[in-house]
Chains A and B, each alone.
Chain A
Amino acid sequence: GAVVSQHPSRVICKSGTSVKIECRSLDFQATTMFWYRQFPKQSLMLMATSNEGSKATYEQGVEKDKFLINHASLTLSTLTVTSAHPEDSSFYICSAPPGGLNGGYTFGSGTRLTVV
């Protein structure tokens, strides 16, 4: 079935640095990728939607300049957390919309970001 490969799975960075998270669709093309954020013991919240060949759309309250999203090809979407701060520490998950026979969304394995 469709698989989304997300890297890194875990990253620790210093305040003020930038971190790039990659999501690759394996064996299928993802024209759209959803980026979610999950705080401890809370649900997934949509941050933005990346679209291949066009600008990403951001949810209300999400800073575009802080969370840079690029959908460079039909198989790669990236989220860059710029000038990271401790409050950006969270679990980030990407997801591709249904394309397979089971109709389910495909999720990356998530990235645990810790900013120190």
Chain B
Amino acid sequence: AQRVTQPEKLLSVFKGAPVELKCNYSYSGSPELFWYVQYSRQRLQLLLRHISRESIKGFTADLNKGETSFHLKKPFAQEEDSAMYYCALPAVPPPGANNLFFGTGTRLTVIP
């Protein structure tokens, strides 16, 4: 069964420090993984997906199939990175569009 685990509910780092938000998954088949971010009083928005291999706002995430991980990293945290971060992957569906399974989220606080 699909599962997404974010072991840290809260993470605090100082501005300028590196940050890593952990995500582990279990999935039958080839997973497509996402990181979504929710800034205060805003809607969930896509941060990045592993297929695109982009770096968004300085964040990167590499899919490690051996470790079944998709950790989110940024070398130098900024105050504006403070937000709730969710790791997610699509359900294995019946035919049709997939819903997303979400991890429990990690609240990142960047300390000035």
Chain A positions within 8 Å of B, measured between CB atoms, are 31-32, 34, 41-46, 49, 51, 93, 95, 97, 102-105, 107-110
Contact = CB atoms under 8 A, between A and B. Distances in A.
Nearest to B45: A107
7 contacts: A32-B97, A42-B104, A43-B103, A95-B44, A95-B99, A105-B46, A107-B45
A43 B44 contact: no
B102 A95 contact: no
Contact of A46 (B45, B49, B99, B103): B99
Contacts of B46: 102, 104-105
A109 B42 contact: yes
Interface of B: 9, 34, 36, 42-46, 49, 51-52, 86, 91, 96-105
Nearest to B93: A49
Contact of A107 (B43, B96, B101): B43
A34 B99 contact: yes
A43 B100 CA distance: 11
Given A42-B104, A44-B86, A108-B43, A97 B49 contact: no
- Give the interface SS of chain B, mostly helix, strand, loop or mixed: loop
A40 to B, nearest CB: 12
Given A34-B99, A43-B104, A103-B51, A109 B34 contact: no
Given A102-B52, A109-B42, A43 B102 contact: yes
B43 A97 contact: no
A100 to B, nearest CB: 10
Contacts of A104: 34, 45-46, 49
A43 B105 contact: yes
Contact of B100 (A31, A41, A105, A108): A105
A97 B34 contact: no
For the complex of A and B, the 5 pairs showing the least CB-CB separation, nearest first, are A104-B46, A97-B97, A107-B44, A109-B43, A32-B97
A31 B102 CA distance: 22
A107 B46 CA distance: 9
